Amino acid sequence: MTEEITARKKTALSGIQPSGNLTIGNYLGALSNFGSFTEEFNCYYCVVDLHSITVRQVPAELRRRTYEVLALYIACGLDPDKCTLFVQSHVHEHAELSWMLSCFTMFGELSRMTQFKDKSAKHADNINAGLFTYPVLMAADILLYQADAVPIGQDQKQHLELARDIAERFNGVFSPTFTVPEPYIPKVGANIMSLAEPTKKMSKSDANENAVVRILDTRDVIIKKFKRAVTDSDTCVRRAEGKDGINNLMTIYSCFTGKSFDEIEREFDGRGYGDFKAAVGEVCADGLAPVQARFSELMADKAYLEEVMKNGAEKASRTASKTVAKVKRKLGFVTL
Ligand code: TYM
């Protein structure tokens, strides 16, 4: 048994909602890091469409974005033959496990989730039960595949901690059932901020287009958005408390170039913000260009994307159904 556990390749899992056009926050905080797990880990990357309907979606847009997020996974280098790429709603066990885990999640825990508080303030006319229980579905996504590692941006850390608590609680009551997952949050890029209000997270649902740079924005649009980015009244490119706009732009520049903050400060010593903003736009557009080119090719071949979805769902279901069977047995459900 011990040998079996040590020999097991570790599992990584993550997901992205097709609820808006993806931003460089999604890219730098999560998507661009997914590929680094594929050698060492057995990887599952899922398009979490069930999560998206906690906020009203236009059905045709949700459908289109589901293809797009899958295409972006592949365009960012994820090989469907080397990892499992799938759509959450194609694997019914996500919803099933979510219900069972909701009976092991406390009302108080869900009430403390900052994303719930933020989203219910933003969508005051639609504070539905799904918005509240959303983190339980996320825990189900992770625990279904016995994930060891979950690559995410900073904003998902609280949800991941809840998934760990739910796993530990269930394991404590019924003996070890779930692997307790670890978050993998990048050192740089885990919290990309809005270009218009740099104290706020860059969010794909932001109504102000100038606040967000989208992965699929054209080169001209990217450069224009960075030129408009809010900074401060200083002129010197350096990291400092209170210089939220510049700190954010330095982070983005560092992610796309691999340069350290010291190197960036030296590079722009004596040059103004105008030069720096133009340079950030250039490296971002250069970095995204190959992803955009591959994305366009993939989107022209829907049949291929559907084949990936189908194979991914089959592979994911095999693992997911084993976990659900185990959970049902432990809970005392009659199996036929
Ligand atoms: P979502 O779709 O909002 O975001 C997808 C990923 O992008 C990261 N991210 C950011 N990183 C840095 N800076 C930003 N401004 C930024 N904005 C978003 C997020 O942290 C995330 O990693 N609940 C999740 C989706 C999910 C999931 C899962 C993730 C559902 N089930 C299971 C991991 C494992 C979400 O809404 O992500």
Q: 251-284 pLDDT, tens per residue?
A: 999 999 999 999 999 999 999 999 999 999 999 9
Model pLDDT, residue 288: 98
Model pLDDT, residue 1: 42
Catalytic one among 117, 201, 224, 302? 201
Residues 46 and 123 in one domain: yes
Residue 20: pLDDT above 50? yes
Residues 51 and 181 in one domain: yes
Residues 85 and 142 in one domain: yes
**What region does 22 belong to: left with phi over 0, alpha with psi -120 to 50, or beta?**
beta
Residues 146 and 240 in one domain: no
Residues 107 and 46 in one domain: yes
User: What single string gives the DSSP state of each residue in 265-279?
Assistant: HHHTTT--HHHHHHH
Look at 4-18, 155-169, 183-197, 302-316 and tell me which has the smallest mean pLDDT: 4-18
Residue 299: pLDDT above 60? yes
Residues 135 and 283 in one domain: no
Of all protein residues, whose CA lies closest to atom 16 belonging to ligand 1?
Answer: 25
Residues 22 and 154 in one domain: yes
Q: 26-78 pLDDT, tens per residue?
A: 999 999 999 999 999 999 999 999 999 999 999 999 999 999 999 999 999 99
Residue 3: pLDDT above 50? no
List the helix and strand counts (H, then E) for the chain.
Answer: 15, 5
Based on the structure, what is the number of domains in the chain? 2
Q: 104-153 pLDDT, tens per residue?
A: 999 999 999 999 999 999 889 999 999 999 999 999 999 999 999 999 99
> Region 283-299: what's the mean pLDDT?
98
Atom of ligand 1 at shortest range from CA of 192: 13
195 assigned to some structural domain = no
> Region 16-34: what's the mean pLDDT?
97
Q: What type of residue sits at position 217?
A: D
Is 227 among the residues known to form the active site?
no
Residues 169 and 27 in one domain: yes
- What is the rounded (10 degree) CA torsion for 68, 74, 80, 81? 160
Is 122 among the residues known to form the active site?
no
Quote the domain boundaries for residue 238: 209-296
CB 87 less than 6 A from any atom of ligand 1 = no
Residues 85 and 7 in one domain: yes
> Region 172-200: what's the mean pLDDT?
97
CB 183 less than 6 A from any atom of ligand 1 = no
242 burial (CB, 10 Å; 0-12 / 13-18 / 19+) is exposed
202 assigned to some structural domain = no
Model pLDDT, residue 122: 87
Q: Which CATH number fits the domain that encloses residue 277? A: 1.10.240.10
Residue 64 corresponds to which tokens in the numbers above?
């289109």
203 assigned to some structural domain = no
CB 231 less than 6 A from any atom of ligand 1 = no
Residues 18 and 135 in one domain: yes
Residues 46 and 116 in one domain: yes
